[in-house]
Chain A
Amino acid sequence: EPEVTQTPSHQVTQMGQEVILRCVPISNHLYFYWYRQILGQKVEFLVSFYNNEISEKSEIFDDQFSVERPDGSNFTLKIRSTKLEDSAMYFCASKGTGSVYGYTFGSGTRLTVV
């Protein structure tokens, strides 16, 4: 079964440092997403990406965040200057066209900011 692959599985970074979280979506999917889950809380939408541009972003997704699809396979989330409150599990997801079904999440990257 096709999978969404995320790397690394766990990243520890110093406050103020830049981090890049990487995702390889399912190959024929065209909608890409980042969600985050602070420990013990609900999964929250960060950003959606379609046709090589951001289609929607949440209030959480401020100027410190950016997304990129640098080639045909990778989808990245960059946090420019990490804060302690950025510590969370970050999930990448992708979806095929034409239906809200087929929404697949990766296993996540646990980001710890110290």
Chain B
Amino acid sequence: QQQVKQSPQSLIVQKGGISIINCAYENTAFDYFPWYQQFPGKGPALLIAIRPDVSEKKEGRFTISFNKSAKQFSLHIMDSQPGDSATYFCAASRGSGGSNYKLTFGKGTLLTVNP
């Protein structure tokens, strides 16, 4: 019930293309869904996050789409750039009800954007 499943494991995209990474969760108590970007040797950095009361959130070239009934959410990177090459993790958390807000991560997607 605590799992977050992420796909694909790796993704190669040409510069200017769209990168799409998908996640699915099981625990309906999750109410906060962040995406983290991680460069080699660095800690995960929050990229964008969504709550289940909206179906989409956009910040610049990054968009989260959220489907509550299917318990799925995805990250879309528009106009992908070589500098976007990194590992992307989806995560989920309970953000209310006295939770300690621990994050459950997906397994990660290694994105490579070719110039």
Residues of chain A touching chain B, judged by Cβ–Cβ distance below 8 Å, are: 4, 31, 33, 35, 41-45, 48, 50, 55-56, 91, 93, 95, 99-101, 103-108
Contacts and interface: CB of A to CB of B under 8 A. Distances in A.
Given A103-B46, A107-B43, A42 B100 contact: no
Nearest to B46: A103
B19 interface: no
Interface in B46-104: 46, 49, 89, 91, 93, 95, 100-104
Given A105-B36, A107-B43, A108-B41, 13 more contacts: A4-B43, A33-B102, A41-B108, A42-B105, A48-B101, A50-B100, A91-B43, A100-B93, A101-B49, A103-B101, A105-B45, A106-B43, A107-B41
B43 A103 contact: no
A8 B63 CA distance: 36
Given A42-B89, A42-B107, A101-B49, A95 B101 contact: yes
Nearest to A4: B43
Contacts of B103: 35, 43, 45, 103
A31 B42 contact: no
Interface of B: 32, 34, 36, 41-46, 49, 89, 91, 93, 95, 100-108
A58 to B, nearest CB: 8
Interface SS of A by simple majority? strand
A44 B105 contact: yes
Contact of A43 (B41, B95, B100, B105): B105
Contacts of B42: 107-108
B107 A41 contact: yes
B100 A91 contact: no
A74 B101 CA distance: 21
Contacts of A35: 103
Contacts of B49: 101
Contacts of A56: 100, 102
